[in-house]
Structure 1
């Protein structure tokens, strides 16, 4: 028997209405995962690793500058949810509507959303036979789950830095004086082995002594930045790198590595136009004083000059006008406890005028955290050795970052890891 068209239309309408009610009754699926980076985050350090792994897998990511401590916005995919859960990283599922509301809030304030395009290729300058101290960046990347390669003098001098976007330096003394550790450790087996290793490498590359080797390495690192690379340095590498780059002669301060006496005219043999961050600094001429120059404000290893630790404050930048500086200071704390290193801080009197100061101690004559452009690339210097070990000494046990998952100091290191992944925006004026 034929069915009445009116009845058919009524049945279809009823079915459509029932379907709509069912859809409305279901919870709306999330399309995004927000990784908050304020106090709601259980593990700030591993949140960087989750974001890095998302980029490595080809996922899209955004860095929400000045929004909830520098939150990350990722797609809601099962692998990311699983990784975040395993790592103890706090996530907040968000619908398209919720994200639109966040974008409106960002548009109306001192915030911005920066697209992270790809996982950067990272190298850490460190020897295979590690000396008896740890490297805070190696600790940070390992704990967060971020991939990196290790390079040393051989790789640098062969031009291998061109394979990487971002290179990290830590404790190394590029003047070839071993941070003057020969004063106390010249007969220690690890020190003797380190010296023999460097002398052997120098011979392979036609260098007569360790200062000549390290100067060649420093010049190659300068070239890496000049050609567009990103450099992050901490501790003694900051000061010694610029001293080595600026030196017009191999031996600027008479290290014991080849028996050369101190050069009383070392200051006159420095070309600061080649340096990244500093100018007009004075070299410490005595091989018996455990300091390289007056760049370091704290002079931790010179008892008569040593300055006490305080706190340093991160500067607030305009996210829309100065996104690079803003990325580098993203944090859930604006005041951070200071920490010593071979080079703890940077004497303001010798910092170049075009350098951006990212953090400093209020009322002190030194800065803690610097950034600048050089050629086609850029560099960032952070004073101190280990953000969670203020008095770190040779032989101290490595910091266990599982005890410091929310470390604001270590967050500064990891900001630099993701900085090269950011899509470059035209600078606003």
Structure 2
């Protein structure tokens, strides 16, 4: 009896209205009340076995889903704007998008990606934009750290975000400013204890092993998303396999003589021809990063923006998906790594966002083996200068954040029905 009750309840909640194939359109243009939670609703649909049509370049990258009572309830609870449209209207819309005379396309999202965040178990005095927005959007995720990565747990997941980590083993190069701070001392002690327990002679060697494990995960078909200090420190760690680029202040022994000449750019994901910085009292790890405050090119928050490129939705669906937004001009924001130096970006990498008229590249995508990666400069899209110890951003105040939307585009990307690109 109980089994029959649940079958009837499921049929009621997930059956289309009146047997008519009506649709729900979730607009993603400036009429949307909560862009960030709209992504969470799209994920909710996938988790419940529903197919989502991602309408690329239509009203800011809107979503089209079957009209189900449970979905309408979910949209109302989360405060997400939507429109009911008829079967005939949805067919007409899809036919219009398919026309060759516009820059729009439809991408089917079919499976909720399994998401994991690489985040330290220690309580550091800063937050992470990705975990903030995943939590706000109500998208579930797991956490792991070095031990789990090294034992192969990444194979369980479709999408990996790496926290604002320093894969070179230099603790973010906070040595000069914070070496006597209690949180910094705890971080170093914890990292050294873990490296010893895992059988490594020092933290930098453990971190490079983790970087290579992530490399293998991507090569086998995984998707990696990294922000702030993670992208450049990750590539530096890959390039420095077998050599010591860490000053004695961090690990107690000297660097490899002529280390720069032994850097192997063929091993990196995105960057090449960079110069590493082995001065422990300087913040940067290399010249990949462009921090306008340090270069003297700062323009002030009110004039600081980066611009998204427009791609062909029909011929270049991948960068099109990753740049869906209700505006092409987005407020810039600082981080341990703020922007990437264009001259250090490999020619095979797709630049998706940059600060026009400068060397500053903000948002890039590339392929590695059977997988893909996306690097995003800066720490928090809604906190222009996030300082150590400041409280986390309240996303209830930034429901329509364009900068945070780019993160969530990446979260949904692995759900897309794989198509061969025409270029």
Aligned position for 1:23: none
Aligned position for 2:210: 217
Q: Which runs of 5+ in 2 are unaligned?
A: 1-17
Could you tell me how far apart the structure 2 residues matched to 1:261 and 1:289 are? 17
Aligned position for 2:251: 258
1:237 aligns with 2:218: no
Q: Tell me which of 178, 189, 204 is aligned to 1:185.
A: 178
Secondary structure of the residue that 1:417 maps to in structure 2?
A: helix
Aligned-pair CA distance for 1:253: 3.5
Aligned-pair CA distance for 1:289: 1.1
Aligned position for 1:142: 135
Q: Tell me which of 391, 394, 402 is aligned to 1:400.
A: 394
**Contact 1:36 1:71 survives alignment (8 Å):** yes
Aligned-pair CA distance for 1:263: 4.8
Aligned-pair CA distance for 1:31: 1.3
Secondary structure of the residue that 1:86 maps to in structure 2?
A: helix
Q: Which runs of 5+ in 1 are unaligned?
A: 1-26
**Contact 1:254 1:263 survives alignment (8 Å):** no
Aligned position for 1:38: 29
Aligned-pair CA distance for 1:260: 2.7
**Contact 1:211 1:250 survives alignment (8 Å):** no
Aligned position for 1:117: 110
Aligned-pair CA distance for 1:250: 4.7
Q: Tell me which of 43, 47, 50 is aligned to 1:56.
A: 47
> For residues 306 and 260 of structure 1, do their structure 2 counterparts lie closer, same or farther at Cα, with a shift above 3 Å needed?
farther
Secondary structure of the residue that 2:28 maps to in structure 1?
A: coil
Aligned position for 1:322: 316
Deviation sequence 1:177-219 (CA, Å, 0-9, x none): 0111121212222211111111111112211111011111111
Aligned position for 1:347: 341
Aligned position for 1:267: 260
**Taking structure 2 as the reference length, what is the TM-score of the superposition?**
0.92
**Which structure: larger Rg?**
1
1:1-80 → structure 2 map (5 Å cutoff):
31-80=22-71
CA-based RMSD: 1.7
1:97 aligns with 2:88: yes
Between Structure 1 and Structure 2, how many residues are aligned? 402
Aligned position for 1:18: none
Deviation sequence 1:66-104 (CA, Å, 0-9, x none): 000000111111111111101100010111101011112
Could you tell me how far apart the structure 2 residues matched to 1:61 and 1:203 are? 47
**Contact 1:253 1:283 survives alignment (8 Å):** no
**Contact 2:243 2:262 survives alignment (8 Å):** no
Aligned-pair CA distance for 1:305: 5.4
Deviation sequence 1:357-407 (CA, Å, 0-9, x none): 001011001211000000010000000000000110100110000000000
Aligned position for 2:14: none
Deviation sequence 1:114-166 (CA, Å, 0-9, x none): 00011000000101223000000000000000010001111111110001000
Aligned position for 1:197: 190
Moved over 3 A (4+): 27-30, 261-264, 303-309
> For residues 160 and 38 of structure 1, do their structure 2 counterparts lie closer, same or farther at Cα, with a shift above 3 Å needed?
same
Deviation sequence 1:195-249 (CA, Å, 0-9, x none): 1111111112211111011111111111111111000000000110000011133
Aligned position for 2:76: 85
